[in-house]
Amino acid sequence: SKYIIQHYSEDQQFQNVAHIKSTLFELSKGVRPPKLEGQESKIMDFVHYLKRWSQIKDEQWIERVLNEFITRNEINEFLEKGYHPYDILYLESRMNGWHSTILQESDPYMEVYNLINCRYILFSLINMNYEARKNMEFHTSIINESWPLLQFFGINTN
């Protein structure tokens, strides 16, 4: 809102600060629904889950559009390399929002840094051991190495 911008400009705690974007780091977390964690999943197993995001609820239509998407974006190449279908669909569905965020990074009151912005790193994150992702081992190791003081505050607390 217009009031938050005024707050940033007037509040001393927001003067000379940097905001480090962390949205892309969520790829190194376990984001799969528990019943879809098995690597045996096929991409067509997700048609039912895609229905909740689609304006059109017809599963045959969703399956046809998903097949077109798979062909157009060469998704099978990633699946053949062992990436989990849910991770690929999640990454592809989020890329539009992330790209928009990257383009709108200018903030007159804070420096904004996006530390990760290349597909190699993104795919390296989702290629990590899935149990390690669920346990947020990547995040914990970065905190332990660079900012151990953060361990005192807990995860997503007030």
Q: Using one digit for the tens of pLDDT, what is the confidence trace for 64-81?
A: 998 998 898 888 888 888
Q: Return the number of other C-beta atoms located less than 10 Å from residue 10's C-beta.
A: 10
In a domain, 43, yes or no: yes
Q: How far apart are CA 62 and CA 55, in angstroms?
A: 10
Cross-strand partners of 21: 114
Is residue 69 within 8 Å of residue 75, measured between CB atoms? yes
- Name the domain count of the chain: 2
In a domain, 44, yes or no: yes
pLDDT in tens, 123-150: 888 888 989 998 888 888 888 888 788 7
- Flag whether the pTM goes above 0.75: no
Residues 111, 72: one domain? yes
In a domain, 6, yes or no: no
Q: How far apart are CA 39 and CA 90, in angstroms?
A: 15
Residues 104, 45: one domain? yes
Residues 136, 111: one domain? no
How far CA 30 is from CA of 26, 127, 128, 145, in Å, comes to: 8, 11, 10, 21
pLDDT in tens, 3-38: 776 777 777 777 776 555 666 677 788 878 787 776
Segment among 60-64, 88-92, 122-126, 154-158 with least mean pLDDT: 154-158
- Domain hosting 142: range is 128-158
Closest CA to 133 of 60, 41, 28, 34: 28
Residues 105, 50: one domain? yes
How far CA 46 is from CA of 6, 49, 107, in Å, comes to: 44, 5, 38
Residues 53, 101: one domain? yes
Residues 111, 132: one domain? no
Residues 54, 110: one domain? yes
Q: Return the number of other C-beta atoms located less than 10 Å from residue 18's C-beta.
A: 8
In a domain, 33, yes or no: no
Residues 96, 133: one domain? no
Residues 156, 102: one domain? no
Closest CA to 43 of 96, 79, 77: 79
DSSP-derived secondary structure for 5-70: HHHHHH-GGGTT-EEEE-GGGGGGS--S-GGG--TT--GGGGHHHHGGG-S---HHHHHHHHHHHH
